[in-house]
Amino acid sequence: MLLRIARSREGARITHYDLYKVDLSRGLTVLDAIFQIQDNMDESLSFRYSCRGAVCGTCAMLIDKVPRLACRTQVATVKDSKVDMREPFAAITDIPAGWDSDNEILIEPLPNLPILKDLVVDMTAFYDALETMKLWAEPPGSEEPRLQSPEERERIDRYVNCIMCALCYGSCPVNNSKTEYVGPAALAKAYRFYQDSRINERDRFLTSAKAPTGAPLCELIMNCVRVCPKGVAPGGAIRKIKNL
């Protein structure tokens, strides 16, 4: 199997693509293939990873023009797992010269974030949104348990599953055109805290989500729903914020 991988030299843009041939084995993931390249062919190839089990979200990248987790994307089935990307932008539509889309898997850095090197992007803007919106709970100092019924928990189950991989951020045309937009993950997390019955002053999360850089900018294109590896469906949360 051939992998065409975007490369860069300590800069904010792709400078060229390198082509590698990897040995295909049963169950081989894109992350496994990239390791095979780094271990045996090119130790200079830079990428992020951690858990290798679709839990940490670290290995998010653009695979055949779709934002995916490399650790859960099977090399053998990449060509069969199409995703309909709505309102695609340059990173999704621009085809590099020489790419044989039938016989090569194209690996590129996650869009909408600055490139640091090769497949490594700068996540600062993504995480800054969480800080700016103060998306965390501040429980009271007492040791009293904060009880929650199964029905109350069910309201936030989907949103708790977010692993902060930024695939939604990289798929979003609004994030591509408006750098001030906090992005789908931050808004889904804000809605998660707003719906959490254990939290006092929940309205502050809704107020934060409805700021000019938040939900009002979302055009409900729903690419975030299509690429989310955990079924969080940020677009659905944003629609509910808009309705509120």
Query: What are 223-241's pLDDT values in tens digits?
Result: 999 999 999 999 999 999 9
Query: What are 67-96's pLDDT values in tens digits?
Result: 999 999 999 999 998 899 999 999 999 999
Mean pLDDT confidence for 26-35: 97
Mean pLDDT confidence for 110-139: 94
Question: Would you state the pLDDT for residue 212?
Answer: 97
Q: Virtual CA dihedral for 138, 145, 237, 132, nearest 10 degrees?
A: 10
Domain covering 2-121 assigned CATH 3.10.20.30 in the classification: yes
Give the H or E element holding residue 206: helix 203-209
Q: Give 94's DSSP letter.
A: P
Mean model confidence pLDDT for the chain: 95
Confidence band, pLDDT 50/70/90 cuts, at residue 141: confident
pTM for the complete prediction? 0.94
Confidence band, pLDDT 50/70/90 cuts, at residue 9: confident
- Matching residue, tokens 């490594």: 120
Name the residue ranges covered by the structural domains of the chain: 2-121, 124-243
Query: What are 92-113's pLDDT values in tens digits?
Result: 999 999 999 999 999 999 999 9
Confidence band, pLDDT 50/70/90 cuts, at residue 146: confident
Confidence band, pLDDT 50/70/90 cuts, at residue 6: very high
Confidence band, pLDDT 50/70/90 cuts, at residue 138: confident
DSSP 137-186: ----SS-------HHHHHTTHHHHT-----HHHHH-HHHHH-TT---HHH
Confidence band, pLDDT 50/70/90 cuts, at residue 144: confident
Select from 1.10.1060.10, 3.40.190.10, 1.20.1530.20, 1.10.3720.10 the CATH code of 124-243.
1.10.1060.10
> Which residues sit opposite 104 in a β-bridge?
2
User: In degrees, to the nearest 5, what angle opens at C-alpha 85 toward C-alphas 82 and 88?
Assistant: 135
Question: Would you state the pLDDT for residue 55?
Answer: 92
> Which residues sit opposite 117 in a β-bridge?
120
Question: Would you state the pLDDT for residue 65?
Answer: 97
Residue among 214, 220, 116, 118 nearest 172 (CA): 220
Question: Would you state the pLDDT for residue 162?
Answer: 97
Question: Would you state the pLDDT for residue 82?
Answer: 87
Question: Would you state the pLDDT for residue 229?
Answer: 96
Residue 9 in contact with residue 45, Cβ under 8 Å? no
Q: Of all residues in the chain, what percent carry a pLDDT higher than 70?
A: 100
Query: What are 172-219's pLDDT values in tens digits?
Result: 999 999 999 999 999 999 999 999 999 988 999 999 999 999 999 999
